[in-house]
A and B are shown apart, each in its own frame.
Chain A
């Protein structure tokens, strides 16, 4: 199957940097570089890390962009120029088909979208179909997307894109980086301050090399990307949320616009706005043993009340952590539960997220 995998514009650079490549979402992607997942994770929290996320689905929506509200409960019409927002893509039943980012550059009529890699083809077909006659979505899977994350990301990027440090969290603008035209947003998937940089595929290697040439920056693979986002309490689509969950079960009601909640004008609104049997929560195991995806969660009498959807070891937390779904009556922070790891009940507690405080530059 290896010969059918896609490659990002940075494939050759990953090999040159000594990356261990793995199949991910149909692409051959770097899971780690020689530094290893632990060091890459800690380096990102301490200095700056560069991620190749070119496998994600980028595209531009033209026409009546407000029609995007047909498929998302986010407040699309309320989006101000120069801002990026997080949204959920919903099925007709109101369950979560994907999560995505949408933004509009100042002075631009079109909306810029970024969806998940694994779902991008289906998402774009779905959005196009639902918005037919109102808006046109043009996929730009040829574009590259880099993420520069960490407390020193701003200093590094300012050297290659003068003035970019004026952006605050969730702002976006057209800029140049190392001479290449780019869409740069102050966003990310690590809980740290940082930027996401969309550029032409042809410019990707030059921009990546310029950023990696800075002493603060290390290349970071998907392994550390996963542990960073888990510590930040951020969902991984296909694991923590999917088409079997609605926004309320997924604890993502904050992503629904106030106007949309009042109008209840999105798919599945009645059910999503009603009582829920289960809820996504953070979980902290007491010992050192990590609980992986699929681990059953039991109450203290041994009854199964849920399942872990993401779990592992948090290098900054220096301990295991997990995310999962439990019956709503067990969802309060501090509730003691057991994780069933290899047949043994391992004590744990429901915990607030993020597990590591986020450090966005607001």
Chain B
């Protein structure tokens, strides 16, 4: 059972149990154009989304183009252990994010 939420910075966060996977949305990937470099956070790093990085998608270092090809799948950036799930619940769901993108 997983749940996906979106930020106004065009990141998606998929929560499965205690672990959340983070990437950028299709809209963001298309707006950025060809991604040629991704700097990934080190494991253990605390990030602003309210959690600690458990692993990063090191495949992106060799193949940053995965971000363009499959931003909401193979192009994920890193996984997090969330410190506060209530923050996650406040983020936009799929419909709200779609409306947000339409408003831009």
Contacts and interface: CB of A to CB of B under 8 A. Distances in A.
A320 B37 contact: yes
B49 interface: no
Q: How large is the interface on B (under 10, 10 to 19, 20 to 34, 35 or more residues)?
A: under 10
Interface in B6-65: 33-34, 36-37, 39, 61, 65
Nearest to A32: B33
Contacts of B37: 288-290, 313, 320
Interface of A, secondary structure class, is: mixed
A32 B31 CA distance: 12
B61 A37 contact: no
A38 interface: yes
Residue among B33, B34, B61, B68 with most chain A CB within 10 A: B34
A36 interface: yes
Contact of B34 (A38, A289, A290): A38
A336 to B, nearest CB: 21
Interface of A: 32, 36-38, 223, 288-290, 313, 315, 320
B-side binding surface: helix, strand, loop or mixed?
A: loop
Contacts of A37: 33-34
Contacts of B33: 32, 36-37, 223
Nearest to A314: B36
A67 to B, nearest CB: 45
A109 B51 CA distance: 73
Interface of B: 33-34, 36-37, 39, 61, 65, 68
Given A288-B37, A290-B37, 11 more contacts: A36-B33, A36-B34, A36-B68, A37-B34, A38-B34, A288-B61, A290-B36, A313-B36, A313-B37, A315-B36, A320-B37
A289 B60 CA distance: 13
A37 B35 CA distance: 10
A186 to B, nearest CB: 30
A37 B68 CA distance: 12
A38 B65 CA distance: 10
Contacts of A36: 33-34, 68
A320 B38 CA distance: 12
A187 to B, nearest CB: 27
Contacts of B36: 38, 290, 313, 315
B66 to A, nearest CB: 13
Contacts of B61: 288
B75 to A, nearest CB: 15
A36 B29 CA distance: 12
A70 to B, nearest CB: 43
17 contacts: A36-B33, A36-B34, A36-B68, A37-B33, A37-B34, A38-B34, A38-B36, A38-B65, A288-B37, A288-B61, A289-B37, A289-B39, A290-B36, A290-B37, A313-B36, A313-B37, A315-B36
Nearest to A344: B39
B35 to A, nearest CB: 10
Nearest to A320: B37
Contacts of B34: 36-38
Contacts of A223: 33
> Closest 4 CB pairs between A and B?
A313-B36, A38-B34, A36-B34, A37-B34
A152 B37 CA distance: 30
